[in-house]
Amino acid sequence: MIRSVIRGSGSALPGKAVSNEELSQRVDTTDEWIVERTGIRQRYIADDGETTSSLATQAAQRALEAAGMDGKDVDLIVLATATPDQTFPATATQVQHNLGCNGGIAFDVAAVCSGFLYALGTADSMLRTGMAKRALVIGAETFSRILDWEDRTTCVLFGDGAGAMVLEAQEVAEDGPKDGPGVLSTKLHADGKHNELLYVDGGPSTTGTVGKLRMKGREVFRHAVVNLSDVLKETLAASGHAAADIDWVVPHQANARILDATARKLGLPAEKVIVTVDQHANTSAASVPLAFDVGIRDGRIKKGDLVMFEAMGGGFTWGASLVRM
Ligand code: COA
């Protein structure tokens, strides 16, 4: 039997941080409103030269470095993004070129804020079936490019960034312990009937434009808490663990209140949740691997820990993955 083990992680942020105070000079909002309703204090916004592929490449290089590998060691890149450099080719192929991977498989997945979970689930399946040996799983976004900067109900919520993980296929004995380093269970879901609650009002086959993000935040919030607590329970049940076994929850960073509500529903103390929404805001597919890398580099997440990743986003799509470090 094969299990996908995390060998390293990395992340990257644009050079420029933008505070709530600075935003309040652009749209009718206040630092107080944003902090109280979302927990966000600042976000990073990409400059002209910073793109989804450049942030993804930087994050991937750091993940490879942490794993003691280089581009040539990787034969699979799965990159989650809703803000690709170009409509095609896949941004993953640009990253593959930048890293000097010399071939292998590279493609993007589109599941918006759940994109990283979808990418992780896809890469894990491909490693376990022997299609590849070492994978880079990346979440990278430049959401600032699809925000309507006149719409205060959305533009204050998002930021840009990238996070990456190196996964390696490792043989484990068929009759060995059910628990051990690697991805233990992943559950993914989608329900397409809620398109009008969170979407971009453009695209190549409809308007021929890139479009801007539109969201009915209150309704999204309601669905998020229910869907996330359901998928967390489902993911735990699949691996035979209890919520109390979890050392760290690394959630999608949309809103501090969603993080609190989800932890409460699981009966987990807030101290077990890695929170970066205050610093990064919602970076869509990048938010889970970015938060994970923060937890790894500040020493909170350690070898042997049981880590739960979870996310919910446009589609709706949602999912969770339980990993032993
Ligand atoms: N600054 C000041 N006031 C604002 C504002 C802003 N940036 N944005 C909205 N408001 C106002 C609204 O106009 C509304 O005013 P009204 O009562 O006079 O109409 C009031 O604040 C409350 O708006 P509402 O949307 O009900 O607030 P909320 O408590 O639901 O918080 C969100 C809004 C977006 C922060 C919250 O709903 C949320 O986080 N939703 C989930 C979003 C999410 O997770 N999305 C990504 C999934 S991947």
Task: Say if ligand 1 is within 6 A of residue 29 CB.
Answer: yes
- pLDDT tens column, 178-224: 899 999 999 999 999 999 999 999 999 999 999 999 999 999 999 99
Mutate-to-test residue for ligand 1 from 218, 219, 317, highest number of ligand atoms within 8 A of CB: 218
For residue 82, the model assigns a pLDDT of 98
> Under CATH, which number does the domain 182-324 receive?
3.40.47.10
pLDDT at 239 over 90: yes
What CA–CA distance (Å, rounded) separates 315 from 325? 30
Distance 235 CA to ligand 1 centre (A): 30
Looking at the DSSP bridge assignments, the partners of residue 310 are 251, 320
For residue 310, the model assigns a pLDDT of 97
Q: How confident is the model at residue 102 (pLDDT cuts 50, 70, 90)?
A: confident
What average pLDDT score do residues 144-172 get?
A: 98
Q: What angle do CA 148, 149, 154 make, to 5 degrees?
A: 65
**Equal CATH topology for 2-171 and 182-324:** yes
Instruction: Tell me the CB-side half-sphere exposure of residue 222, using CA atoms within 13 A.
Output: 6
pLDDT at 84 over 90: yes
Q: Is the dihedral of CA 229, 292, 235, 121 positive or negative?
A: positive
For residue 112, the model assigns a pLDDT of 98
Chain centre to alpha carbon of residue 111: 10
pLDDT at 27 over 90: yes
Which helix or strand (DSSP H or E) is residue 281 part of? none
Mutate-to-test residue for ligand 1 from 19, 40, 153, highest number of ligand atoms within 8 A of CB: 153
Looking at the DSSP bridge assignments, the partners of residue 54 are none
For residue 176, the model assigns a pLDDT of 82
CATH 3.60.15.10 fits 2-171, yes or no: no
For residue 133, the model assigns a pLDDT of 98
Contact of 49 with 57, CB cutoff 8 Å: no
What average pLDDT score do residues 99-113 get?
A: 96
Q: Per the structure block, which two tokens stand in for 142?
A: 């430049």
Who has greater pLDDT, 229 or 279?
279
What CA–CA distance (Å, rounded) separates 314 from 114? 8
Start-to-end CA distance of the chain, whole Å, equals 18
Task: Say if ligand 1 is within 6 A of residue 114 CB.
Answer: no
Q: How confident is the model at residue 262 (pLDDT cuts 50, 70, 90)?
A: confident
Task: Say if ligand 1 is within 6 A of residue 218 CB.
Answer: yes
Looking at every residue in the chain, the average pLDDT score rounds to: 97
Cβ neighbourhood burial of 178 (10 Å; 0-12, 13-18, 19+):
exposed
Q: How confident is the model at residue 61 (pLDDT cuts 50, 70, 90)?
A: very high
What CA–CA distance (Å, rounded) separates 302 from 45? 30
Distance 315 CA to ligand 1 centre (A): 20
What average pLDDT score do residues 99-111 get?
A: 95
Question: What percentage of residues in the chain have a pLDDT greater than 90?
Answer: 94
Contact of 223 with 197, CB cutoff 8 Å: yes
- pLDDT tens column, 119-146: 999 999 999 999 999 999 999 999 999 9
What are the sequence ranges of the domains in the chain?
A: 2-171, 182-324
What CA–CA distance (Å, rounded) separates 105 from 25? 45
What are the residues whose beta carbons fall under 8 Å from the beta carbon of 56, sequence distance 6 or more? 12, 79, 81, 91, 95, 138, 140, 162, 164
Strand ranges for the chain from DSSP E? 2-12, 16-19, 42-45, 76-80, 105-109, 134-142, 160-171, 182-190, 198-200, 213-215, 248-251, 306-313, 317-324
